[in-house]
Structure 1
Amino acid sequence: MRKILFLTTQFPYPLDNGGKIGAFNGLSVISKNNKVVVVSFSEDSSGYLEGKKYFEKILPNVTFLEPVRQDVHIRKKPFKLASAIVRAMIKNVPYAISKFENAAMIKKIDRVIESEHWNLVFVDYINMCGYGRYIRKRYRECFDYYIFKDHNKEYELVEQEAQKYSGIKKKILELDSQRTLMCEKQEAREADIVYSVCDDNTRFLKAFNCNAHSMLPTYKIKENKTQNREFRNTYKVFFLGGLSWKANLDGLEWFVNDVFPIIKSNVPQASLTIIGGGLNYNPFEGKNGVEYLGYMKDISGVYEDKMVFIVPLFEGSGIRIKILEAFDNEVPVVSTSIGCGTIGAIDGEQLIVADDKDEFAKGVIKLLQDEKLNKEIRKNAKEFLQNKYSLTKRQEEFENEIQKLYRKKSINHIGEL
């Protein structure tokens, strides 16, 4: 079996946000025929032993080293935020990289990579590219090939953030967007293979590396319940997402303030359940029919009695893992076009797409009241997930690309003799 060193931003346990799920999906793909060692960060490493035990059963070829302690969400920590911004400007690197600078991570990488020869170094997320550059510069003889997985067009996210502001803050973000774009181009060019999580981002990366491919999210599809599950008139609408990301919070506030009152006036029994960490207060206190549960470690049972899953998102890039999770758990989705555009699902067949308050409310109301439509959307979404996002297909694609690298190396070696 080949040996892969995998660098990612967060120890992926519990699987409670898109970043962790994205890393887990990647590991599920690359570990089938390979031994993988994971180096990661964690804001709270107290769950390491529990997570390690959990992954022993489902990812037997993966070894998780104890994560390095690092504050990942620093937007509300002014000193750390300012320090990261200043370092980014001085070193001419993206903020996404500077906020993950950590001397303890360098030491861990030194110990790991010096211990043996690696077939592949796999850098997951642009935030880890600083360490990828360090490895390429210092340890080029210690591995065969370098792989970079860019989950989003990260520069676009920063650019979208810049449009919300004016003055010095806007200028700082615009400069950071430029640095981020330069970084994404450079990392794509220098990788032997570059991956993205959706076809739209892959087309962007192919301009800088012809060996760019989509590694779509992967699922061991859960047992189909659609035919057996009764239509429950619970009238429960559901949101799940990290609220430390401002785009999630902004979209959710739009839904609560502008959309949900329309739904309540047509379906008085309707309620909204919100699950998402990142806040130390309840921004929806006193809102009629709205229940804010905050962070939940175990979300495995939260889908069971829900009738509609909402994705009110107006900025972003990459792919929304939570939509695919809703598909797998058989809860129909209403999303803005930017929230679901890269997934490939069709409006009216596998989900409902709406970008203004009236149409968004209309979509939710339909799914709450129309049993036939609700069941049909659920069924179609599940079949779509099975056909396009199966784990087996991703594993085969990855193995084929790695074999191509080694065949090319072998041919080149023979040609030199």
Structure 2
Amino acid sequence: MRILWVKVGGLWPPDTGGRLRSLHLVSELSRRHHVSLATTHAPGEDPGPLLAHLPRCEVVSVPYALPKRGSAGFALALARSWLTTQPVDLLKSVVPGLREEVRRRLEGGAVDLCVADFLVGTANIVLPGPVPTLFFAHNVEHLIWRRLARVETSPWRRPLLEVEWRKLRAAEARACSRATLTVAVSEEDAALLAARAPAARVRAIPTGVDLSYFAPGTSREDDTSLVFMGSMDWLPNEDAVLHFLEAILPRVRGEVRNVSFTVVGRNPGPRLRAAAARDGIALTGRVEDIRPHVLRAAVFVVPLRVGGGTRLKIFEALAMGKAVVSTTVGAEGLPLVPGLHFVRADDPDEFAQAVVSLLRDPGLRRSLGLQGRRLVEERYGWPRVAEEFEKRCEEAVTLGRRHTACRPSPAARAGARIAGWLPEGIKRHARPLRSLQARHGLIDWKLRFRRALPTRREARTGDAGPIRSILYVCRGNIIRSPMAASLMRRCLADLGRNGVVVSSAGLYAGRGLPADPRARAVARSFGFSLDDHRARRLTAGMVGQADLIVALDSLIEAELRGRHPRAGRKITRLLTQPGDRPARPIDIPDPYDGEEDDIRRCFELLRASVRRQSSGLFARETAPEEVEAYHAS
């Protein structure tokens, strides 16, 4: 294949997780394919070391300095963002020289596949373009900014972050929808991206590590030394270290005397330098080799509260045989087992206690380190990861050839431009309809029209026959449907109907994902537990086995009826409270993009609706012979 790889921000030096991942993949791909790298470097930087590291690649590097906060370039990007729907992060990453180089090469006909590295890479590519495009999503960017907004304490910065993450979410959905194929770095990220762009093709590859470079050391570690590693000009890393200094390190030092903490990473900011001076910790800045700092430490800490993608730093620490303590966010997307490969702790007290326990127990540190090294040795070397990525590249090329004749017409492109100027409120209500195929959309409007008729009375929930299994269906199976299923189980227990099986699934669920953390917290506050829930994607087998299938909004119902027309009599919705007017189907709004309060309101609406449903379903006892006769038929 002839691959054009587009990367804003350069690949050298390899001092960030994204640079490391891309550099290794480009290097491995260039062994079997012709790879051209179109990238940028800061003015005054020498691209020579990058060329030397990639001798089999053609490298074109354009000088460009990404605008920093406070600069004229950043102010211009911010002003443009306020006047458009584009996020600041993309607008400041448009590089005219790079964009022109990419356009010239793509139109020249000598490229089989274009790889847009990170979301900012798509800002320099026209999508869809003349060749298949693979969008390489190292992170779910809007999730990072959304989490930043949650932990932001400044009353004027938080609203700006709230606006930015919503714009990034829309930009990510557009990029996924317009790219031939999207590749994420974990199944969790792939599911999140697919949920926002249901028509997109999203795949996942594992992350990797250089096993020969990151290897266990022979020197003795310092029993009172902690280390954190990461680029300190990345806001989630800075937030993590400041949080550790304020909430965790004092607790650790209260238990173990003379504990030292070293932060290894480039460009620490003024806030962090001031905190380091106050608390007596070491900031290394950029270093040529991180390994001595990591090998010297007894415990590797990852106190991230904000993030996305997967943390290469954890794999590198495991490859060096280090004991790791991480938050759930820090280890997100990695195939690690808490207690076997690392220690997971989210509460500051729990995190501090985990660190103290490891400092006092060299045997436990050694056990965790051995298990972590074994895991990455068996499955996560870069050559193996590159093979997976290569398969995705080949898939994108095949898809591109298959759909060459299906490119948008000039009229369609004009329509898309017009849609870009519609008010956001109209687009927000219309956007879910885009996930429906035309046939499903017609079903949705047909159902709306029939139910709007004044003489129309909704069928009774139990009209499909005797019920011994109920299936609740939403989109991702991480908030609404698991909450509904838990509520129905409680109602059935109260009614003494313990023989009914209640389950849930999602039309676009990422298999095996846990329930949303906010949904788990809300459920606990009402006396329920979603901790053991794992998402399931709806299958024909589930539809066939269920006696009653409850769609949680009108679009899900339309898609269910379109996908499974023979199951139509089993598909229903939750209903409003009957009164002077007949009961009507009720939509349970998807609270995924909201806050915890929105999920709480969703739970309360579900609680009332499911109670009504359980009362309607089991108002009378069904004789056992009636149940058997129904299922035999």
What is the DSSP-based 3-state SS (H/G/I as helix, E as strand, rest coil) of the residue aligned with 1:333?
A: strand
2:182 maps to 1:183: no
Cα distance in 2, alignment partners of residues 85 and 288 from structure 1: 35
1:188–1:205 CA contact under 8 A, matched in 2: yes
Post-superposition CA distance 1:217-252 (Å, at most 9, x none) = 2234227855x8465344221111222222222221
What is the DSSP-based 3-state SS (H/G/I as helix, E as strand, rest coil) of the residue aligned with 1:118?
A: coil
What is the DSSP-based 3-state SS (H/G/I as helix, E as strand, rest coil) of the residue aligned with 1:303?
A: helix
Partner of 1:253: 242
Partner of 1:159: 146
**Alpha-carbon distance, 1:335 to partner:** 1.0
Cα distance in 1, alignment partners of residues 93 and 399 from structure 2: 35
Q: Structure 1 residues 171 and 245 mapped into 2: Cα distance closer, same or farther (>3 Å)? A: same
Please, which of 108, 124, 132 is the counterpart of residue 125 of structure 2? 132
Partner of 1:214: 204
**Alpha-carbon distance, 1:269 to partner:** 3.2
What is the DSSP-based 3-state SS (H/G/I as helix, E as strand, rest coil) of the residue aligned with 1:47?
A: coil
Q: Structure 1 residues 30 and 209 mapped into 2: Cα distance closer, same or farther (>3 Å)? A: farther
2:49 maps to 1:46: no
What is the DSSP-based 3-state SS (H/G/I as helix, E as strand, rest coil) of the residue aligned with 1:278?
A: coil
Q: Which amino acid aligns with 2:305?
A: F
Partner of 1:16: 15
1:310–1:334 CA contact under 8 A, matched in 2: yes
**Alpha-carbon distance, 1:384 to partner:** 1.6
**Structure 2: 5+ residue runs without aligned partners?**
405-633
1:68–1:105 CA contact under 8 A, matched in 2: no
Q: Which amino acid aligns with 1:396?
A: E
1:97–1:130 CA contact under 8 A, matched in 2: yes
Alignment of 1:92-171 (within 5 A): 92-133=85-126, 136=128, 140=130, 143=131, 145-163=132-150, 164=152, 169-171=157-159
Alignment of 1:274-293 (within 5 A): 274-279=263-268, 281=270, 282-293=273-284
Cα distance in 1, alignment partners of residues 399 and 347 from structure 2: 51
**Alpha-carbon distance, 1:271 to partner:** 0.9
2:408 maps to 1:396: no
Larger radius of gyration: 2
Partner of 2:232: 243
Cα distance in 2, alignment partners of residues 233 and 250 from structure 1: 26
Cα distance in 1, alignment partners of residues 54 and 108 from structure 2: 23
Q: Which moved more, 1:374-383 or 1:386-395?
A: 386-395
1:45–1:69 CA contact under 8 A, matched in 2: no
Cα distance in 2, alignment partners of residues 215 and 376 from structure 1: 28
What is the DSSP-based 3-state SS (H/G/I as helix, E as strand, rest coil) of the residue aligned with 1:46?
A: coil
2:377 maps to 1:386: yes
2:57 maps to 1:67: no
Q: Structure 1 residues 405 and 160 mapped into 2: Cα distance closer, same or farther (>3 Å)? A: closer
What is the DSSP-based 3-state SS (H/G/I as helix, E as strand, rest coil) of the residue aligned with 1:304?
A: helix
What is the DSSP-based 3-state SS (H/G/I as helix, E as strand, rest coil) of the residue aligned with 1:347?
A: coil
Post-superposition CA distance 1:135-164 (Å, at most 9, x none) = 645xx1xx3x11101122211222223332
**Alpha-carbon distance, 1:331 to partner:** 2.0
Q: Structure 1 residues 86 and 365 mapped into 2: Cα distance closer, same or farther (>3 Å)? A: same
Partner of 2:423: none
Q: Which moved more, 1:334-343 or 1:287-296?
A: 287-296
What is the DSSP-based 3-state SS (H/G/I as helix, E as strand, rest coil) of the residue aligned with 2:58?
A: strand
Q: Structure 1 residues 410 and 10 mapped into 2: Cα distance closer, same or farther (>3 Å)? A: closer
2:331 maps to 1:340: yes
What is the DSSP-based 3-state SS (H/G/I as helix, E as strand, rest coil) of the residue aligned with 2:300?
A: strand
**Alpha-carbon distance, 1:356 to partner:** 1.9
Normalising by structure 1, report the TM-score: 0.86
Cα distance in 2, alignment partners of residues 147 and 363 from structure 1: 41
What is the DSSP-based 3-state SS (H/G/I as helix, E as strand, rest coil) of the residue aligned with 1:132?
A: coil
Q: Structure 1 residues 225 and 23 mapped into 2: Cα distance closer, same or farther (>3 Å)? A: closer
Partner of 1:352: 343
**Alpha-carbon distance, 1:302 to partner:** 2.8
Cα distance in 1, alignment partners of residues 401 and 119 from structure 2: 30
**Alpha-carbon distance, 1:169 to partner:** 4.1
2:18–2:138 CA contact under 8 A, matched in 1: no
1:29–1:394 CA contact under 8 A, matched in 2: no
2:326 maps to 1:326: no
The runs of at least 4 consecutive aligned structure 1 residues that moved more than 6 Å come to: 408-413
Cα distance in 2, alignment partners of residues 136 and 278 from structure 1: 37
Q: Which moved more, 1:315-324 or 1:292-301?
A: 292-301
**Alpha-carbon distance, 1:120 to partner:** 0.3
Q: Structure 1 residues 297 and 283 mapped into 2: Cα distance closer, same or farther (>3 Å)? A: farther
Cα distance in 2, alignment partners of residues 98 and 212 from structure 1: 25
Q: Structure 1 residues 300 and 115 mapped into 2: Cα distance closer, same or farther (>3 Å)? A: farther
Alignment of 1:261-276 (within 5 A): 261-276=250-265
Cα distance in 2, alignment partners of residues 153 and 411 from structure 1: 28
- Computed over aligned residues only, the root mean square deviation of the Cα atoms, in angstroms, reads 2.7
Q: Structure 1 residues 301 and 97 mapped into 2: Cα distance closer, same or farther (>3 Å)? A: same
Cα distance in 2, alignment partners of residues 324 and 15 from structure 1: 15
Cα distance in 1, alignment partners of residues 203 and 180 from structure 2: 11
2:85 maps to 1:89: no
Q: Which amino acid aligns with 2:170?
A: M
Partner of 2:292: 301
**Alpha-carbon distance, 1:409 to partner:** 7.0
Normalising by structure 2, report the TM-score: 0.58
Q: Which amino acid aligns with 1:27?
A: V
Q: Which amino acid aligns with 1:312?
A: P
What is the DSSP-based 3-state SS (H/G/I as helix, E as strand, rest coil) of the residue aligned with 1:239?
A: strand
Aligned length: 399
What is the DSSP-based 3-state SS (H/G/I as helix, E as strand, rest coil) of the residue aligned with 2:112?
A: strand
2:231 maps to 1:232: no
Partner of 2:192: 204
1:263–1:364 CA contact under 8 A, matched in 2: yes
Cα distance in 1, alignment partners of residues 401 and 9 from structure 2: 36
Q: Which amino acid aligns with 1:222?
A: S
**Structure 1: 5+ residue runs without aligned partners?**
none
**Alpha-carbon distance, 1:378 to partner:** 0.7
Q: Structure 1 residues 28 and 150 mapped into 2: Cα distance closer, same or farther (>3 Å)? A: same
Q: Which moved more, 1:118-127 or 1:249-258?
A: 249-258
What is the DSSP-based 3-state SS (H/G/I as helix, E as strand, rest coil) of the residue aligned with 1:380?
A: helix
Q: Which amino acid aligns with 2:98?
A: M
